[in-house]
Amino acid sequence: MSDVSRHQAILALLEEQAFVSVNELAGITGVSPATVRRDIDKLAEAGKGQKVHGGIAASTAPVQRRAVNLPFFENRDLAVAQKRAIAARAEKMVRDGSSIIVHAGSTCFHLGTRVATRNLRIFTNSIPLAGFLAEHGTCQLTVGAGDLHREPGILYDPARNGYDFFADQFFVGALGVSPAGLLESHPLLVRLCNDMSRQANETIVLVDSRKFAERPPTVALPLSRVHRLITDDGLAEADAQMLADEGVEVIIAETAEGAGA
């Protein structure tokens, strides 16, 4: 992770919590505590945070808040019709007998519930999805190992060096989408997205059309590494053209609202 990416990650965390420790930042960014302390010094000198004992605190100066991840059980109840339509369309792309990775997030959760009883091997780091599949599914389930991060609801070990599995498809959501790529605010989701995309033959993005207006601070994955994107019929023409310009195949999932328009 570059200096700029680490600084963005630290500032994103400070928008969600008032204090972040050196040890927590070292685990999230994958660098040494000494490097984290130098990052804190630079951010404090720039007036973007306060250097305190053991870590960094949010600046007392007012800042413009950017898009952040809502808790899963709040986000799950937003744009439900769109998310269900996207999940239903994504389900048709899953082949029986294949291996898939399903990322964290509510739209990916909807997909997971639809394929729970299919003849599949599913890998996920998502705690809500793993719990559902364990109770209601008959698929072969592999759950990522590591520490429990209740927000954003994943298991993840930042010190892990590689994975011993490969999947046919990686289904991933995002907090935002721009010409730069998939956008996130939580550093762990950024790292996990990169990790999982390297383990699959095809990366398929599941995002409702609202996400094209969001601008979280960090690029989790460039569009050059996205093979297909499934969204709802509320996608604006400008956003559709942007995806076409970037070479991303777009699949539109019709909602009940769109079908009746």
- What per-residue confidence (pLDDT) applies to 121? 98
- pLDDT grade, residue 260 (50/70/90)? very low
> How much is the average pLDDT of 148-161?
83
Domain with CATH 1.10.10.10 in the chain: 3-57
How high is the pLDDT of residue 70?
61
Per DSSP, the three-state class of 178 is: strand
Q: Where in the chain is the domain with CATH 3.40.50.1360?
A: 72-259
Q: What is the dihedral of CA 248, 66, 194, 182, to 10 degrees?
A: 0
Mean of per-residue pLDDT scores for the chain? 88
Cis-peptide into 152, omega within 30 deg: yes
Fold of 3-57: Arc Repressor Mutant, subunit A (1.10.10)
**Which among 106, 116, 84 has a CA at the least distance from the CA of 153?**
106
Q: How confident is the model at residue 259 (pLDDT cuts 50, 70, 90)?
A: very low
- Is the domain defined by 72-259 classed in CATH 3.30.750.210? no
Grouping H, G, I as helix, E, B as strand and the rest as coil, residue 100 is strand
pLDDT digits (tens, 9 = 90+) for 76-108: 677 899 999 999 999 999 999 999 999 999 999
- Rounded to two decimals, the pTM is 0.76
Closest by CA to 196, choosing from 113, 69, 95, 103, is: 103
| In the predicted structure, residue 31 carries a pLDDT above the cut 70 | yes
Distance from C-alpha of 204 to C-alpha of 249, rounded to nearest angstrom? 10
Distances (CA, A) of 77 to 69, 109, 211, 252: 14, 12, 15, 21
- Please determine, for residue 236, whether its predicted confidence score (pLDDT) is greater than 70: yes
At 75, give phi and psi (nearest 5°): -65, -30
pLDDT computed for residue 243 by the predictor = 96
Window from 38-42, 53-57, 71-75, 168-172 with minimum mean pLDDT: 71-75
**Given a cut of 70, is residue 74 above it in pLDDT?**
no
pLDDT at 55: 85
Distance CA 240, CA 133 (A): 34
Q: What is the mean pLDDT of residues 159-172?
A: 89
Q: Residue 69: pLDDT band by 50, 70, 90 thresholds?
A: low
Q: How does strand 50-52 pair with strand 55-57?
A: antiparallel
